[in-house]
Structure 1
Amino acid sequence: MSSWTLAAIEQAFFEAWSADTCMPEELPAWSVRNPARGQCGPTSLVLCEILGGDLVRADVHHTGVRIGGHYWNRLPTGLDIDLTRCQFDADEVVGVGWVVAPPEGMRPGRCVEQWELLRYRVFTALGLPLTPSTSALT
């Protein structure tokens, strides 16, 4: 079993994010200046697979109007890790989160290509094995 620092894991994700791993509905807001934009869903699934714990979801509001959702991770110790929180502007408010059930097999129901590419890049950077049954990119 390998071990990493949280900084090393965060760096692996930061280097893996791209327009190709962004959720399609967030692509117009994605930029190299804000690479975390639209990455929360795939990132939280991949991080949960690596570290365990729970997925947490919350609504995001802009001037009091719900504009979307946001995902992050809660480790078994109770510590929340949100690698993509930096994607939000000051006027975008992330609400109180609640634990949600992960999709079966940690495989998302939509945007599978974005998740697979992000997973491939992060697992490769961290030296984790990829199996054909879990990723189409291997």
Structure 2
Amino acid sequence: MVLTSLAEVERAIRAAWSPDTCDPVDLPDWSPANPARGQCGVTALVLRELVGGELLLGPVLRRDGTRQGVHYWNRLDGGIEVDLTREQFSADEIVQEPVVVDPPPGAPARLREQYLLLRGRVHHALGIAETSAS
């Protein structure tokens, strides 16, 4: 299947989010009102697999300067940044400048189950034959 648009991929990814695809660290803050919470790592990896580009990683700081965590998103070929999970953060959580990081070969060691579940749901929604992510 040929993907017709980034919007199609975005709809499939957003529809696939659930507590089961959330980073366990963020699970206490996940809710249907904030379904993007804890989805950034697996979302960025699935999006990169489907549309290419670079994987970005930036620290997230609270307004008082303490570290909240990290945030992943994508930079497509041509320099356009796509961040499908930015809305997960409160006004007190500020994403800092990113660095480009190498994606793991195959499925990530951390969040493997969440990644495989999200990837499978997105592939199914888009009509993509499932291939091994190892």
Q: Distance in 2 between matches of 1:44 and 1:126?
A: 17
Q: Distance in 2 between matches of 1:90 and 1:7?
A: 26
| Per-residue Cα deviation, 1:85-120 (whole angstroms, up to 9, x for no partner) | 010111110000110011113x11211110000000
Give the 4+ runs in structure 1 shifted more than 2 A.
Answer: none
Which residue does 2:133 correspond to in 1?
A: 134
Structure 2's unaligned 5+ residue stretches are none
Which residue does 1:26 correspond to in 2?
A: 26
Displacement after TM superposition at 1:134 (Å): 2.2
Q: Distance in 2 between matches of 1:109 and 1:73?
A: 20
CA contact (8 A) 2:56 2:73 kept: yes
Identity %: 55
Which residue does 1:95 correspond to in 2?
A: 96
Which residue does 1:48 correspond to in 2?
A: 48
Structure 1's unaligned 5+ residue stretches are none
Q: Distance in 2 between matches of 1:11 and 1:4?
A: 12
Alignment TM-score, normalising by the size of structure 1: 0.92
1:71 paired with 2:94, answer: no
Displacement after TM superposition at 1:4 (Å): 2.3
Which residue does 2:84 correspond to in 1?
A: 83
Displacement after TM superposition at 1:129 (Å): 1.4
Whichever residue aligns with residue 69 of structure 1, its letter is: V
